[in-house]
Amino acid sequence: MHVVVGLGNPGPRYAATRHNIGFAVVDQLAAAASVPWRSRSSSGAESQTALLDDGETLLVKPHTYMNRSGVAVSSLQRELGFDTGHVLVVVDDFNLEFSRLRLRRGGGDGGHNGLASILEELDSGEMPRLRVGIGRVLAGGEDIDFVLSEFGPGEDVDGLIHRGCEAAECWIREGIEVAMNRFNCQPSL
């Protein structure tokens, strides 16, 4: 089974923010496949899941706040028994220019608290991740204010989400190596 975890914060207040680009990517994957989201609670951790038509790909949106994403993902992992090497975590990254994608086989959290929570709860850094460039914080700006802001009118958010979906689909079909080679070197939109 492949598991694609999109990170974000629950609720309408955060829906269109930069920090929720992970949710937007998995939402688009579910919409493209015409599969519904299903709410579930596992060990008290809320999440939404959608099973793609292939029966082998589970989309996940943890409905804990970002910094506790690992609680929901680890609860699902205990319940369903998936291998952490088959989990792709989709996260926002303000260290990447807008629309750049960066896939990695594993490693650290790169300062992303949601990813840090997942790595800690699953006790493994060996899971693929897709970092989606949301633009860089302006000099003198606050990181938290930036990630919780909405995208600007000149930013092609739909194109960004589409590219994130293409990268996730490539990972599902062809694996991390092919996805890294194809998407890590693509120019920004």
Write the pLDDT tens digit of every residue in 131-184: 999 998 877 778 999 999 999 999 999 999 999 999 999 999 999 999 999 999
Judge whether 19 counts as a catalytic residue: yes
What mean pLDDT is predicted for residues 108-124?
A: 94
Condensed to tens digits (0 to 9), the pLDDT of residues 117-132 reads 999 999 988 899 999 9
Position 16 in a domain: yes
With respect to residue 188, please indicate whether it lies within any of the assigned structural domains.
Answer: no
What distance in Å separates the CA atoms of residue 43 and residue 147, rounded to the nearest whole number? 29
Q: Using only the alpha carbons of the chain, give its radius of gyration.
A: 15
Q: What is the pLDDT of residue 43?
A: 64
CATH code at position 43: 3.40.50.1470
DSSP string, 89-156: EEEEETTS-TT-EEEESS---TT-HHHHHHHHHHT-S-S-EEEEE--PPPTT--HHHHHTSBPPTTS-
Look up the domain containing 95 and give its range.
2-183
Number of structural domains the chain divides into: 1
Q: Has residue 28 been placed in a domain?
A: yes
For residue 138, the one-letter residue type is L
**19, 63, 112, 162: the active-site residue:** 19
Residue 57 lies in a domain: yes
